[in-house]
Structure formats: structure tokens, C-alpha cells
A and B are shown apart, each in its own frame.
Chain A
Amino acid sequence: MIGHAEKAAPFVANEGRVHWHDQALWFVRLKRDRQAESIPEWEDLREAAAAIKAHTLSRIADYLEEFERNARSNGIQVHWARDGAEHNAIVHRILADRGITRLVKSKSMLTEECHLNPYLEAHGIEVTDTDLGERIVQLRHEPPSHIVLPAIHLKKEDIGELFHKELGTAEGASDPKYLTEAARGHLRQKFMAAQAGLTGVNFAIAETGGFVVCTNEGNADMGTSLPPVHIACMGFEKIVPRAKDLAIFLRLLARSATGQPVTSYTTHFHGPMRGGELHVVIVDNGRSAILGQETFRRSLSCIRCGACMNTCPVFRRSGGYSYGYTVPGPIGSLLAPLRDPRKFGSLPFASSLCGSCSDVCPVKIDLHHELYAFRQELVQKKVVPLYKRFGMAIMSSVLARPWAYRLAGRLMRWIVRRLPRAFVYGPWNPWGRQRELPPMPRHSFRDLIKEESK
């Protein structure tokens, strides 16, 4: 297992970039705060959103059946996929049966999770990600580093260089307006040539058999109103019971995500376009197993706003790639090890447990409590590396015995000063790799108090 800290190493090596990344995300967090403060009932909204999600999860099978029934009556074709492989095969079948070789996509974390793009490309289909940030990382052959801001790890100079090479923009040009205009022209051609459009789903509505997609760029709208075939992919947890529930979630989503009052386009699909087809693929891919875990099922309430990432002191300073999973940050640190505890076992430890993520989460997932609970599970299941378990065993036996604690303190104060630096900062001291230990005091706090009270 390559842990979070090891994967973060290349990112944190560039201190200037880390500082910039930290500030860029904190800026988004501040914009979120301003929006939240403009709504007096903000906390009630979060409460309501959490309760709607909890209710929906408690009878989710019924709501999915209701959605399917109503969607079919709207002329939508509904497909079900147990896992990523089945999802990819369904999407490919829809395209292949119609001889489609050019697909435009708007943002869908689910298709990232299922690795749809490489699968379709291997089958001879040209896939174009059309969200600007996603197109940037696609051209760089990278995954997104953030679920809402896919290219937040890049500077405009990086993008200027990329576009010069890929889109023929002027060498050295890095003005965001100029680069965006170049991408607009490039992607318009892709939209005009596409034979099908694929989108994610922000919310699917059981009562009406439709769904909502939110974007600022309008890329989902271009991709679904020009070509006649629209495929929408959703994890089953995207369902809400009623259309009026959308009001609660839409009031929270964009404010939490980017500090906007609402996205530019909030599109409600309740049937195919004239003469076209609309497919919805409902995917499980490990989610139903999470539903069965009482401690962690609330992570299924996530509406993918990214607020927990923007506020997380660890994410801001380690970058999205350090998590090695489609969804990074605090919520990803739950979702990833829920999927594969051995591969992602270091992620619940990539948190200061400060609780900021839980404070900003619009659906009130108790992220830091769940991360803490996950740590305990990982230790019990012995997924945590031996040196850590060994260290914790020694630590807890010392802390449980006042005499051992006093003795250890005295020993450390005496010995650390006398040991050579190379020894104190040896490989057994990962904490000291980037940090200096404080100077060892001569007396303990207990000694000082005793001295004072004489």
C-alpha cells in the first residue's frame, strides 16, 4: 500500500505551488461562507437536506422503482448495472448498436469511477470531455484532481503550454479569457460533430421520473440538445422523492460548491428530445454494501459539492492526487477505503480531525467522526501497518500507567539531549522528516508545579 503521505510527496515538494493551491481553495471556501451567511435558514436547510437523504436511503428500493416506472412513462429507457464493468458495457452497447463513434461528455464522477473513457476508447469510440477543467486534464492524460474544480492543481501557464501544443494557441499565452475562448471554439466543433452526449445526474426524482443536471458552462446542455442520443449515468443514491425536494438541494449545492447562488444552468430532463432517445443507467458498484454499514451509510448522502475538499487543511496542502481515488478529500477518504480498505487504508489518517469538513457539509455527513471510526476499524482489522500498530500499543500502555509515563518522560528528557542528531532523526522518526523536535526541557510540567507550590 502506497499511502497518502507518500503520494503527496511530489506535490508538497513545490512549496510555492502548495501555498497557491491552499489559497485558491480557501478563496472558494470563503465564497461559500458569504453565500451561506446570506441565507438565514441555512442550518435548517442542511438539517432538512440530511433528513431527506436519510429518509430516501431508508426506502431507496421503492423510490428507484417509482423512478423507473415514471421515467419509462416519460419515454426514458432505464438500465441497471451492478458494477463498473456492467455500466461500461451498457453504455458501449447503446453506442455500438447505433454505430456511434463520437461521444461528448459532461462531468460525471461516476464514469471516472467506472473508468468509462479508456473502455470506450479501446472500443474505437472518440470520447471528448467537455467541461473545460475536465478537457484540460483529459488532454494531459490525467484524472481530475478535484470533483468540482478538475484542474485546480494547474497554473494558467501550464494550461497555456498545453493548449499551445494541443489547440494551437499562441506560444506563451496564458490569459484565462484567451485560453477559454480557444477551448470554446475547439469544443464547439466537437459538439457539432458528436453523435451522442453523456451526462451525470445531480438529482433524479422518483415522483416525476426525470432528473436534473447542473452546470455553469452549459456543456451538458450543448451535449444533450444537439445529438439525438443522451445517456445519463447515476449512482442509485442520486434519487430524491419529490420535485419539491430539489428546492432544498439546489439552494445548498452551488452555494456550497463554488459560492454561487445557483449554477448558470439547472436542466430538468423528463424525456428525450424531439426524435431522440434518452437512456438512464442506474449503477450500484459497491454502494449497496455501504448502505448496510450503519456507521458509514451517511456517506451515501453526499451530493458531490466538494466543500469538504475546499475547507480541508490536508487536501489544500496535499492536492487531489495524493488520495489516489476518483473522489478525494474527506468524503473520498471514506468512500475509497469503504471500497477497498487495503488499498486505501491510509486515507482515514489523512485528516487532522479538525471537523471543518463536517461543519461545511450541506447534507451534514459527520465526516470527521466517520473518519475516526474508520481508523479504529482499520486498526482492529490490522490493515494499519505494523509499525503504527506497534507504536500505538506502546503508547497506550505508557499512557495507561502514570508511573510508566513519568519514567518515560524522565528518560526522554535525559537521553534525547545526549543522542547524536542522526539517531534522533533516524528512519524511526517520520514526524521529524519535515519538522524539528522542540528542545527537550530540563524539567517536566509536574516538576515545575511542585517547585512553584513550595
Chain B
Amino acid sequence: MNSRDAILDSLRRNAPQLSPLPEAPTAITYADPEKQFAEAFGSVGGKFVRVTSLAEVNTELGKFESYTQARKIASLIPDIGRANVDLAALKDPHELEGLDIAIIAGEFGVAENGAVWVPGSTLGPHRAIFVVTQHLVLVVPAGQIVHNMQQAYDRIRLERPGFGIFISGPSKTADIEQALVIGAHGARSCSLFLVGSQAR
């Protein structure tokens, strides 16, 4: 018998009696999910910026030191950021090394933990962009904040074949004496622009 069949056979022999799948519990909701999201995103080391229009994103970006000093900028959102890297021209993801800023669209945010869902199809030709870049800028439409992860998975359409990721703040580590250090391997900073008119 090959290993696959041997393992499956052994699992069938050893499996306990069928036990039922449970219902998911009722998950937390917030009076103001946008406010909760902003707090959660800040608590995981991200910078939250509320703007009303895409034009305003450009203005606010101009106030970031990491942006004004950046030499290589890539943007996956038309007209956002003074992009000077043509991602389509890169033959290999390794050529992303040296990228200072990447501007990427997030599909929606999750209030309970400050995570942003980024489907692979919005990452352009090289999905490595979100982690190789020194600084990451996420742009999410206002109104696209769900309360909790259970709502998030009700909404996610996993791309098959494909890729998708929750990003919650910048890359970080606490592996040296439990001291939190931002900027382990991936982005050293993670900013998020929530764009659209203020909710009533």
C-alpha cells in the first residue's frame, strides 16, 4: 500500500464516532465599526487616516516623510501616488527590492482586529509587493468595514487558484526579550486611508 492509502486507512480505522459540526456563535458587533476599526488598526501599529476623496489621499500622502523622501514608488491604484515604478515591466519579483512605497487597494476592513482583506488579484503582477516594500499604504473604501471575522469570511470569495491575505499593520516581532520592534522582514510602516464621505 502506498503512504497515502496507508495513512487514510489508518485514519479510518482509528477515527472516533461522528460528532456534529457546531453552529458559529453570535459574534461581537460595534456601535461604530469604523471607530473600532481605526482603534484596532492603530493598536496593531498601523497609521489610520480618514479622508473623503481619493484626491485627498494624495494631499495627505505628501505629509508623510517616508513618502516625500521615497525614491521608488509603485501604485496599484490609478492616479494615487506619484508612482515611478512600472510593475508590469518587472520580469521577476526580486526586482521589487529597493521599492520604498507600495500603494495597494484593500477590499474591506475588520473592526474587531484591524485586519484588511487584500485579494491576490489586486496585488498586480508580483504578489510579493506587499511584503518586499519598505512602506505599505492601503486604501480602503469607506463603508467597507465589517464587524468581525465571521462576517469577513461570509464575504470573502477565495480566488481559486489564487491568493489572498489579511494584513493587520506593519511587519513586527517581539522575539528579542518580548520587546516589540516594528519592521521585521516586511513593511516598516503600514498606513491606511479610509476613503469616502463620512457616515451619518
Chain A residues with CB under 8 Å of B10's CB are 284, 288-289
Q: Is the CB of A136 within 8 A of B175?
A: yes
Q: Is the CB of B3 within 8 A of A292?
A: no
Interface of chain A, main secondary structure: helix
B174 CB to closest chain A CB (Å) equals 7
Q: Is the CB of A271 within 8 A of B175?
A: no
Asked if B8 CB lies within 8 Å of chain A CBs, one says: yes
Chain B residues with CB under 8 Å of A225's CB are 93, 126-128, 131-132
A265 CB to closest chain B CB (Å) equals 6
Q: Is the CB of B161 within 8 A of A217?
A: no
Q: Which of B57-65, B80-88, B137-145, B150-158 binds A?
A: B150-158
Q: Which of B48-56, B66-74, B184-192 binds A?
A: B184-192
One digit per residue, 1 when the CB lies within 8 angstroms of any chain B CB and 0 when it does not, for chain A 75-91 equals 11000111000100000
Q: Is the CB of B7 within 8 A of A282?
A: yes
Query: In the bound complex, how far is the Cα of B185 from the Cα of A123, in angstroms?
Result: 28
Asked if A142 CB lies within 8 Å of chain B CBs, one says: no
One digit per residue, 1 when the CB lies within 8 angstroms of any chain A CB and 0 when it does not, for chain B 1-37 equals 0111011101111111111111111111000000000
Within 8 Å by CB of A82, from B7, B22, B185, lies B7
Residue of A nearest to B181 (CB): A180
B6 CB to closest chain A CB (Å) equals 6
Query: In the bound complex, how far is the Cα of B177 from the Cα of A176, in angstroms?
Result: 8
Query: In the bound complex, how far is the Cα of B3 from the Cα of A219, in angstroms?
Result: 31
Q: Is the CB of A216 within 8 A of B19?
A: no
One digit per residue, 1 when the CB lies within 8 angstroms of any chain B CB and 0 when it does not, for chain A 205-228 equals 000111000001111011001100
Chain A residues with CB under 8 Å of B179's CB are 156, 176-177
Within 8 Å by CB of B186, from A75, A222, A243, lies A222
Q: Is the CB of B166 within 8 A of A265?
A: yes
Residue of A nearest to B156 (CB): A243
Query: In the bound complex, how far is the Cα of B161 from the Cα of A76, in angstroms?
Result: 9
Query: In the bound complex, how far is the Cα of B130 from the Cα of A180, in angstroms?
Result: 20
Within 8 Å by CB of A51, from B18, B20, B150, lies B20
Chain B residues with CB under 8 Å of A226's CB are 93-94, 128, 132
Q: Is the CB of A288 within 8 A of B11?
A: yes
Q: Which of A254-262, A311-319, A332-340, A348-356 binds B?
A: A254-262
Asked if A48 CB lies within 8 Å of chain B CBs, one says: yes
Asked if A280 CB lies within 8 Å of chain B CBs, one says: no
One digit per residue, 1 when the CB lies within 8 angstroms of any chain B CB and 0 when it does not, for chain A 238-268 equals 0001011011101100100010111111111
Q: Is the CB of A155 within 8 A of B177?
A: yes
Interface of chain B, main secondary structure: loop
Q: How many A-B contacts at CB < 8 Å in the complex?
A: 268
A291 CB to closest chain B CB (Å) equals 4
Q: Is the CB of A262 within 8 A of B115?
A: yes
Asked if A116 CB lies within 8 Å of chain B CBs, one says: no
Q: Is the CB of B18 within 8 A of A59?
A: yes
How many residues of chain A get a CB closer than 8 Å to chain B's CBs? 98
Q: Is the CB of A133 within 8 A of B175?
A: yes
Q: Is the CB of A270 within 8 A of B163?
A: yes
Query: In the bound complex, how far is the Cα of B25 from the Cα of A132, in angstroms?
Result: 36
Asked if B78 CB lies within 8 Å of chain A CBs, one says: no
Chain A residues with CB under 8 Å of B15's CB are 57-61, 291
One digit per residue, 1 when the CB lies within 8 angstroms of any chain B CB and 0 when it does not, for chain A 121-144 equals 000000000111100100000000
Q: Which of A36-44, A357-365, A401-409, A426-434 binds B?
A: A36-44
Instruction: For chain B, residues 97 to 150, give those with C-beta under 8 angstroms from any C-beta of chain A.
Output: 97, 110, 112-115, 125-128, 130-132, 148-150
Q: Is the CB of A219 within 8 A of B185?
A: yes
Chain A residues with CB under 8 Å of B184's CB are 132, 180, 184, 216-219
Chain B residues with CB under 8 Å of A177's CB are 179, 181
Within 8 Å by CB of B4, from A80, A241, A265, A273, lies A80
**Are A82 and B6 CB-contacts (below 8 A) given A225-B126, A262-B115?**
yes
Q: Is the CB of B40 within 8 A of A58?
A: no
Chain B residues with CB under 8 Å of A132's CB are 173, 175-176, 184
Query: In the bound complex, how far is the Cα of B175 from the Cα of A188, in angstroms?
Result: 17
Q: Is the CB of B165 within 8 A of A266?
A: yes
Chain B residues with CB under 8 Å of A247's CB are 24, 27, 148-150, 152-153
Q: Is the CB of B22 within 8 A of A52?
A: yes
Asked if A374 CB lies within 8 Å of chain B CBs, one says: no
Asked if A11 CB lies within 8 Å of chain B CBs, one says: no
B78 CB to closest chain A CB (Å) equals 22
Q: Is the CB of A208 within 8 A of B158?
A: yes
Q: Is the CB of B22 within 8 A of A149?
A: no
Q: A222-B128, A282-B7 are in contact. List 12 more A-B contacts (CB 8 A).
A: A27-B178, A40-B28, A41-B25, A58-B19, A61-B12, A80-B2, A191-B185, A243-B158, A261-B44, A262-B44, A262-B113, A265-B168
CB pairs A–B below 8 angstroms (23 shown):
A47-B22, A48-B25, A70-B160, A132-B173, A133-B175, A149-B174, A159-B176, A176-B177, A177-B179, A218-B186, A221-B128, A221-B130, A243-B158, A244-B24, A248-B150, A258-B174, A261-B43, A262-B149, A264-B44, A270-B163, A282-B7, A288-B10, A291-B15
